[in-house]
């Protein structure tokens, strides 16, 4: 499967409310490159009830890396990420970035595919869009952002959220509507330090 790259600058106000994550506190892992494992098969619906399937959004690891000019954040999931979502599907891989330990985070970055469209990248700081790059290949979704686009911090706290929504007959049909979400890390955010 080839690498798909997108570079976009778009407004994603809806993403701000979509990332509900654990509270930043002490780090789960630190360093120039850091990663933390996430339990398999811990998907939920929007009520928090367990759901099965949707391995393409079941996070096994969330990680981050700092370079002199960029931050990179990634999730590794249980099954290969499809090149595009099905005609009635949505796949999303997003990261909430916190600089000061206060929830919610200041930045939201991610990549999404809706209804048969290719993946697209987006980022926001409040209502202001920021430019990000994103790739999906195999079981990994990666988002890259310039350090100066997020204030050039020496450390960030990261929480990832993945989602799959399948609604062949529309979101109002309870017989065919499916959803699955995963948030990682489960308790404390991952800290990435330059």
**Contacting residues for 109 by C-beta, under 8 A, at least 6 apart:** 73, 94, 95, 97, 121, 122, 123, 130, 132, 143, 145
Tokens read off for 25: 């506190």
Q: Give the whole-angstrom CA distance, residue 165 versus residue 122.
A: 19
Can you list the alpha helix ranges (DSSP code H) found in 80-176? none
How confident is residue 136, by pLDDT bands cut at 50, 70 and 90?
Answer: very high
Residue 107 has pLDDT above 90, yes or no: yes
Using DSSP, state whether 150 is helix, strand or coil.
Answer: helix
Q: Which of 159, 194, 192 is nearest to 64 (CA)?
A: 192
Is the pLDDT confidence value at 112 over 80?
yes
* pLDDT tens-digit map of 15-25: 323 333 444 43
The residue behind tokens 């999906």 is: 136
The two tokens of residue 186 are 């489960």
Cα–Cα distance measured from residue 51 to residue 63, given in angstroms and rounded to the nearest whole number = 24
pLDDT by residue (tens digit) across 60-101?
999 999 988 999 999 999 999 988 777 888 899 999 999 987
Q: Which DSSP category does 187 fall into?
A: S
171: pLDDT confidence band, cut at 50, 70 and 90?
low
Provide the mean pLDDT of the chain: 81
**pLDDT above 90 for 138:** yes
Q: Domains of the chain by range and CATH? A: 4-10+30-38+51-193 (2.60.40.10)
pLDDT at 87: 80
Respond yes or no on whether the N-terminal peptide bond of residue 27 is cis (omega within 30° of 0). no
């Amino acid at each position: 499967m080839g690498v798909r790259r997108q570079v976009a600058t778009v407004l994603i106000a809806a993403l701000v409310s979509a990332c509900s994550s654990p509270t930043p506190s002490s780090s789960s892992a630190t360093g120039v490159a850091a990663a933390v494992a996430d339990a398999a098969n811990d998907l939920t619906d929007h009520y928090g009830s367990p759901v099965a399937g949707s391995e393409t959004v079941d996070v096994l690891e969330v990680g981050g890396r700092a370079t002199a000019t960029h931050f990179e954040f990634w999730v590794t999931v249980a099954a290969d990420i499809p090149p595009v979502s099905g005609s009635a599907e949505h796949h999303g891989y997003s990261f909430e970035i916190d600089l000061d330990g206060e929830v919610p985070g200041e930045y939201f970055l991610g990549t999404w595919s809706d209804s048969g469209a290719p993946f697209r990248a987006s980022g926001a700081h409040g209502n202001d869009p920021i430019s990000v790059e994103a790739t999906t290949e195999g079981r990994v979704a990666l988002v890259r952002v310039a350090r100066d686009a997020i204030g050039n911090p020496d450390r960030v706290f990261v929480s990832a959220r993945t989602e799959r929504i399948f609604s062949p007959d529309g979101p109002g049909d309870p017989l065919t509507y499916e959803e699955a979400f995963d948030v990682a890390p489960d308790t404390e955010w991952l800290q990435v330090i330059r």
